[in-house]
Amino acid sequence: MEKELAKTYDPRNIEEKQYQKWVDKKYFHAEVDRSKKPFTIVIPPPNITGQLHMGHALDNTMQDILIRFKRMQGYNALWQPGTDHASIATEVKIIEQLKKEGIEKEDLGREGFLERAWKWKDEYGGRIISQLKKLGSSCDWDRERFTMDEGCSEAVNEVFIKLYKKGYIYKGSRIINWCPICQTSISDAEVEHEEQAGHFWHIKYPIAGEEGFVEIATTRPETMLGDTAVAVHPDDERYQHLIGKKVILPIVNKEIPIVADSYVDKEFGTGVVKITPAHDPNDFEVGKRHNLPEINIMNDDATINEFGGKYAGMDRYEARKLIVKELQELGLLVKIEDHVHNVGIHDRCKTTVEPLIKQQWFVRMDELIKPAIEAVKSGEIQFVPERFDKIYFNWAENIRDWCISRQLWWGHRIPAYYCDKCGEVVVTKSAPEACTKCGHTHLHQDEDTLDTWFSSALWPFSTLGWPEKTEDLDYFYPTDVLVTGYDIIFFWVLRMVFSGYEHMGQKPFSKVLIHGLVRDSQGRKMSKSLGNGIDPLEVIDKYGADALRFSLITGNAPGNDMRFYWERVEASRNFANKVWNASRFIMMNLEKATIGKTIDEKLLTIADKWILSKANTLVKEATENMESFELGIAVQKIYDFIWEEFCDWYIEMVKPRLYSETDETKAAALWTLKHVLVTSLQLLHPYMPFVTEEIYCTLQELSGDLGAESIMISKWPEFNDSYSYTEEAEAVELIKEAVKGIRNVRNEMNVPPSRKATVIVVSENASIRNIFTDSKVFFATLGYASEVFVQADKTGISEDAVSTVIPGAVIYIPFADLVDIEKEIERLQKEKIRLEGELKRVNGMLANPNFINKAPESKLAEERAKLEKYTDMMKQVTERLEHLSK
């Protein structure tokens, strides 16, 4: 490390070098240490198919800020990293790669395909991790986990078997989300809802054995092939007489019952709904209540199956068109209404998801969910911001049994074995030698794999060694904070919570810090289709990771979306430059002097005490904000202090002392500069780790007395009562008011900074006079003063002196000091001649009858306005000339 900073700040020369140093020195690594209090964050594991996007950048920057902050506070901080195997996303990637080679997935067989999958994972799976490192993420990479590594796989099997034995896992037929393209069930988390223009088809269902019909409306006419009832509300007087009767299902020509069920909304539509238990989750529940048959009319590829009669083999949408046409021909189609509604699509392949009934593995949720609800109600787990607990409760209290099986090869295979002879199901970690029921030795394993969320639900404890009773698990669990976006509260957060209580007997984390989305500058969600996504790596390459991190947190509030602006990143880079240049200036002056670790308080001036007091207050407030997860508020305060108070005010205040060879307080100025610089760097470090580390280590090389070789293992600043210099702080704020007033006056008069002027401070208050007398040296510099006089009255002050008022005092500046009177008279005389010419021209036009009669009203108004303006200007010029001539 050099003993001086380079002339210009270049993140490219710093970031990679510093990051490698941190890794080599194991600064990110945490071991069990009972003498320290642990602080743990588990990373939301990115998919191995993933590439860093702005959401990742925000999420991981927030985690890194918290972990660096806590590490510096003295906690044994562990940020547990890892990646998710992402069943569907990864399988899709590998299938795409195979297709380029002319190979079908089935050609390889399961074992061959998995071999290729692991090879793909080894080749590409670490890409996002290397990108997170570029961002500055201080994860404990020695502990990196993968949801399909040996330990996590062991945890998955343990949980499956345990829940199966307790009766919480079962195999049965229920409604699931089915993707006809990927040919697998998918979780609710993988279903995106988008508004689509569709229709309501109103259809007559004739009443069996009598005249008349009921009218139903549906958005999916093809599912009527699987209708097993129609339903009305039990209190709907319009249909009381029909309950228990039957209707004839059109096209299929079979009788189905009319049932009464409070699920039906009397006010919506006709008040009659078709019930298709095999193709709608609500209908499924109605069907259970009324013991209705469940008829699945679709194949896995969303074509109509044999239950569809003449429509068998047709695509669902093709069948829809022909069914509507047949209904029309039968006179049973009442009308077609345009209808915009939310349609579920698979987030991977964008295919419309089909809700249908299938034999799958499920987790029974009614009991498992109870501790998860109670934990948030009691405050044992808290959402930040609190408003998100309402969404959590809404999801938790209306949860359905969780479909956990997937028709994929990449993932954790379900540990269930079927006897080829008697069909007995044996759930066990490894293949049993014989059937436990009939003793037959031929069994085959279930073909399905588990939902990716099943393994990530165990993440907070599986990553720490569970099901083994490891020391890591005992020490680092439960974790402290989970940082995640509001879009996966229901899916991931909820599942981790109930899994923690079920398998560990306690919460997985104490706080859930929710952040919003990063949108583009127009407020739109970033997406491939809009082409408005911004690659964080591109930003890092152009401006550095610190600038990206800082811009993502500036103005950020928990739970709120934010917009990305290139201008904000540039401003963040400029801030890094400001810190760099200020640090370089301070170090250049420190090189010329020897100062100790402490300073005699008697040598501190009011300026020193003011900045020490300001920095002390900042430490207290920023720390409180960060403890409350108000990261955006904290960083704004740090920014304002460094840029304005420290750089723009204090450094300018102390320059006269630094440049003086005789000033006895020079050492105090240098000590204060160094102390406040180190404090500022430490507060800024979690947000801008690279530039702060480079400056800190250079300063450490120069002085050798900072107490730690790296800023990231230095001690977080603490509030110190001895630096609460309230009186001095108020005094300097008064001087700042005076300086601002002087600068405003000079700006209004266009006086260049190079022109110095006498400044006279008049105050009847002796204490105020003392403040300005003691601060003459720096007050003169900041106020562009050639001399500073402090007095009790206006004696000797000329009448033409300009003034500015501050609390308890008036500041005067002789007019002649600000303006060269002879030159000003000459300038004003020229201006008078110009105005006389303008007034002569305007008056001449307005006195000309031809102009008055012919000119449009707008032109007349324009000339009258000019006359008024020039008259007013002439009055001011004349008055100024008279005044100056005296």
Binding positions for ATP are: 528
Report which of 543, 866, 629, 445 is spatially closest to residue 66, judged by C-alpha positions. Answer: 629
Q: How far is the C-alpha of 293 from the C-alpha of 279, rounded, in Å? A: 12
Residue 167: how many other CB atoms lie within 10 Å: 9
Q: Is the previous residue joined to 478 through a cis bond, with omega within 30 degrees of 0?
A: yes
| Cβ–Cβ < 8 Å for 680, 605 | no
Report which of 217, 196, 215, 193 is spatially closest to residue 204, judged by C-alpha positions. Answer: 215
Q: How far is CA 23 from the centre of its chain?
A: 26
Q: How far is the C-alpha of 522 from the C-alpha of 735, rounded, in Å? A: 43
> Binding site: what residues are annotated?
528
Kindly give, in sequence order, each residue whose CB lies less than 8 Å from that of residue 166, ignoring residues fewer than 6 positions away.
none
Kindly give, in sequence order, each residue whose CB lies less than 8 Å from that of residue 358, ignoring residues fewer than 6 positions away.
173, 174, 176, 178, 185, 296
Report which of 731, 727, 755 is spatially closest to residue 742, judged by C-alpha positions. Answer: 755
Residue 540: how many other CB atoms lie within 10 Å: 24
Give the angle 338-344-347 at the CA atoms, nearest 5°: 135
- Radius of gyration, CA atoms only, the chain: 38
Question: Phi and psi of 398, rounded to 5°?
Answer: -115, 20
- Residue 449 is encoded by which pair of tokens? 């794999």
Q: How far is the C-alpha of 278 from the C-alpha of 295, rounded, in Å? A: 6
Determine how β-strand 229-232 pairs with β-strand 333-346.
unpaired
3-state helix/strand/coil string of 698-715:
HHHHHHCCCCCCCHHHCC
Question: Phi and psi of 242, rounded to 5°?
Answer: -95, -15
The DSSP symbol for 794 reads -
CA distances from 359 to 171, 175, 303, 408 (A): 7, 9, 18, 15
Separation of first and last alpha carbons in the chain: 66
Beta bridge partners of 40: 78
Q: How far is the C-alpha of 520 from the C-alpha of 92, rounded, in Å? A: 28
Region of 291 please: left (phi>0), alpha (psi -120 to 50) or beta. left
- Residue 6 is encoded by which pair of tokens? 């380079």
Q: How far is the C-alpha of 115 from the C-alpha of 409, rounded, in Å? A: 11
CA distances from 180 to 141, 219, 304 (A): 39, 19, 12
Q: How far is the C-alpha of 356 from the C-alpha of 364, rounded, in Å? A: 19
Q: Is the previous residue joined to 385 through a cis bond, with omega within 30 degrees of 0?
A: yes
Q: Name the one residue in this structure whose structure tokens are 């700040």.
A: 9
The DSSP symbol for 645 reads I
Residue 148: how many other CB atoms lie within 10 Å: 22
Q: How far is the C-alpha of 194 from the C-alpha of 213, rounded, in Å? A: 34
